[in-house]
Each structure stands twice: as C-alpha cells, then as structure tokens.
Amino acid sequence: MARKDIIMATQQELKALHVIRKAIDKVITQKEAAEVVNLNERQIRRKVKRIREEGDRGIIHRSRGGPSNRAKPDNIKQKALRLFKTKYPDFGPTLASEKLFERDKIKINDETLRLWLIEANIPYRKRKKRPHRAWRERKHCYGEMVQMDGSEHAWLEERGPECVFMGYIDDATGIPFGRFYEYEGTIPAMDSFKRYIKKHGLPLSVYLDKHTTYKSTKKQTVEEQLANEKSLSQFERALKELSVDVIHANSPQAKGRVERLFETFQDRLIKELRLEGAKTINEANKVAERFIAGYAKRFAVEPAKPGNLHRPIPKGLDLDRILCIKTPRALKNDFTVAHDRKLYQVLDNVRAQRVIVEDHIDGRVIIRHKGTGLKFKEITKRPEKKVTKKYKFRIGRAYKPQAMDHPWRQYKVRYSHIHSYSQKEKVAPKEKGLLLTKP
C-alpha cells in the first residue's frame, strides 16, 4: 500500500499557495501574485519552480526553524541599543543607524534597528503620517479585498423591531452580501462572515472601521508586550487564525463603497421590504437574499483582472472552533467555572488553573483545556447553606419593676439620695423600715 504524503502548512502558506497556483494557471501575473502575498518577484519565481517540481510541498520553506545566517551577534545588538538610549534617544531609526556607523563603527540597517527598538520596547521618534484623502483605485481581482460594516437603521420602519444590516461588498466587482441581525456585535459579525465565506470563499483581506467589535481597545498585556503583539478583538483573532488580513479604515470616507451601498439599500431595500410586508428579521433576511441577488446582476462590474482570489475553506477545518468567542476563565478548586453569570461543574479530573470557555454562534458553550473539550454541566441551583440558630439579643431600655415594694427600688432608695423615677412620683429615704412616698 502506497504511503500518502502529508503536508503540514500554515494558513499563511496555504494562502500563498492559492495565489501562486493562480499565477501558474496564468490567471494573474507573477508580479501581481508577488504584490498580493507581500513577496518580491524573485521569491515568487523560486516558489513557482519548486511547486512545479515538488508539488504543494514546495511552498514550505526548507530552512524553517533554523537561525538566520545574516543575524547580528547578540553583543552587537545590546551595544547598539545601549548607545541608542544614551546618545540617540530622540533620533529616528534611519538617522540613528547612520550615526552608529559614522561615530561608533556599528553597521546596522535602519529597518533592523527599528525592529530591535520595538522588540525592546524602546520609544523612538516617528514620522507624522499625512492624512489620507486621495481617491483610491479599486482592487484588480475579485476576492482581493472585501469591505465590511454594520448599518443601524429603521429597516422595518414601524412594522417590526430595530435591526442592523451587516453588509459586505467586494472592492473589485461591487458584488454585495448581507444579513439582518438584532445588533452589531461579535456574534453577528462572525455569523455573517461565516455565511459569506461559505458562499464565496475566504477573501485575502477585509476592510472595516474601528468599531469595538472589530478593533480591540484593551491595553497590551505583559505577554503581548514581550511578544510585540497588539491586543486583538475576538473578530481580529478569528480572522488571523483564518489568515485573512484585517485593514482598519481611519475615516468613513475611506470605506466609501460600503457606505454608498448602505445609502442605496436604505432607499431601495427598505421599499422592497415594505412591498413584501416583512415584519420580522427572518422575513427581512429572505427578502434581502432575493434583492441582493438581483442587485448584483444589475450593478456589479467586471474586475480589472480576471480570476477569483477567494480561497476555498480547507477540508477538515472546524469553523465553529475559530468563529467563536474564546474567554479564559479560572478553574476553581471544586472544579467549577463561573462565566456569563452562570456556574459550570467540570466533570473531568483535569489539573489546570485556567480553561478556555467558547461561546459559539449557535449558542453552545464549550470548555476546553489545551484544545481538548471537557465534560461539564451547568449548576442551575446552588446548594443552600445550613443556618445555625443564634441567640439574638434585644437592645433596649433597662427593665424597671413596677411594684413599689420591690427590693430593687428599696436598694436604689437606700443607697441614693432623692431619685426621680417619673414626673408623678418621688421616692423618699426609708424611715423605721417604712417606705414613704410624697404626694
């Protein structure tokens, strides 16, 4: 029985393989393939040759995991960083690299120095970016970039609840896609993106705004600072695992195509929903599906370059494990996990301090540890604590006997002078064994 070759490749390599295959089939040029995968033409030619000779295995770099032959020694790196902090703290990487060579005889590329400064978390002077207001040309190929956004509007007017339209539009062709949801959030974004890639495939990049759903506002953790990584939102993390580039727009004008799509839909689609009498979100989605199909046939344009750069979903890839909200939670000593105001009892005997709780699109909750799902159950009713009887002491005024011949009153009279008990009676000293009371 012949042994089948198993190729272990990352999502980024699968993306590059897909684009290079398009170049081999003459769908796109090698120069365009180099621009898409951020490689130069020499690397593309080398990879094309290797893939033709070795098949898909040729996309994997042969020196993976080995040290770079051009890496600078660590002592030179530490000396350059020390000189930068003491002599060139307000220099940019370009000028600092020139001065290190002129004055300190240390030859370092400006880009290498910049990466070293970022890795060591050393601040340096940066150039001010100019505001981007120029017209941007469409992408050349279908699937090269997709613009995405959510539009909160009275789509159902007064007939139904408020809802949000999660819209997509291909930058090269203008082919739209979208669905209605109750709100604009992580779960609707993931659900709509899952439906999009099942219909069209994985795009090379997604262009969207800086809504908190798409861009994290959290500060970097210590681990992220050491790894020189930015804090990612759940949506960014999912697209990174799928090797889809995320591009954030700095203004609404930058993603003008999807904004203009919303303007058109807020006129035409609303009227179509009104004519169809849609009153619920489910009814609106059925109308929108038919409307978008007709709209694409009428208004979609031909791309500048032929071919489809959407990648097919890899076989065996579990989208539900990627397109979900992953939250780290503490595993207590009694094997319970608190999440979203609920308490779960882990049934597996696992030694861990933290586990990952996954909130899936369909409402399922899965608890994992190191990628393995754990058995658990929800604790719907917490056991009541046994309350022991405790004596309650009442704090109030001291008890005073009412009887005039009570020993307590005699004691107070005997060892006191004149003591008033009320406004109506006064007690006098005892004479010859008798208690005298004045009227």
CATH number, domain of 219, equals 3.30.420.10
Is the pLDDT score of 178 beyond 90? yes
Q: Are residues 111 and 234 in the same domain?
A: no
Residue 86, in any domain of the structure: yes
Q: CB burial class (10 A; 0-12, 13-18, 19+) of residue 56? A: middle
pTM here is 0.63
Q: Are residues 151 and 273 in the same domain?
A: yes
Q: Are residues 221 and 334 in the same domain?
A: no
Q: Are residues 284 and 202 in the same domain?
A: yes
Which pLDDT score is estimated for 392?
59
Residue 370, in any domain of the structure: yes
Q: How far apart are the first and last CA of the chain?
A: 125
Rounded Cα distance, 383 and 381, in Å? 6
Residue 333, in any domain of the structure: yes
Which pLDDT score is estimated for 59?
81
Output the DSSP codes for 220-245.
Answer: PPHHHHHTT-----HHHHHHHHTT-E
Q: Are residues 251 and 164 in the same domain?
A: yes
Q: Are residues 158 and 284 in the same domain?
A: yes
Residue 216, in any domain of the structure: yes
Q: Are residues 150 and 276 in the same domain?
A: yes
Residue 361, in any domain of the structure: yes
Residue 401, in any domain of the structure: no
Q: Are residues 251 and 339 in the same domain?
A: no
Domain of residue 94 covers: 74-119
Question: Tens digit of pLDDT for each residue in 48-81?
Answer: 888 888 888 788 777 766 677 778 888 999 999 9
Which pLDDT score is estimated for 423?
45
Is the pLDDT score of 130 beyond 70? no
Which pLDDT score is estimated for 435?
44
Mean pLDDT of 361-366: 93
Could you tell me which residue, 97 or 10, shows the higher pLDDT? 97
Q: Are residues 179 and 238 in the same domain?
A: yes
Residue 242, in any domain of the structure: yes
Query: Residue 380 — pLDDT band, cuts 50, 70, 90?
Result: confident
Domain count, the chain: 5
Question: Tens digit of pLDDT for each residue in 386-429?
Answer: 666 665 556 666 777 778 777 777 765 444 444 444 444 444 44
Give me 424's structure tokens.
């109506």
Rounded Cα distance, 67 and 80, in Å? 21
Q: Which of 8-22, 163-177, 254-268, 315-329 has the lowest mean pLDDT?
A: 8-22
Residue 304, in any domain of the structure: no
Q: Are residues 205 and 256 in the same domain?
A: yes
Q: Are residues 294 and 154 in the same domain?
A: yes
Q: Are residues 265 and 351 in the same domain?
A: no
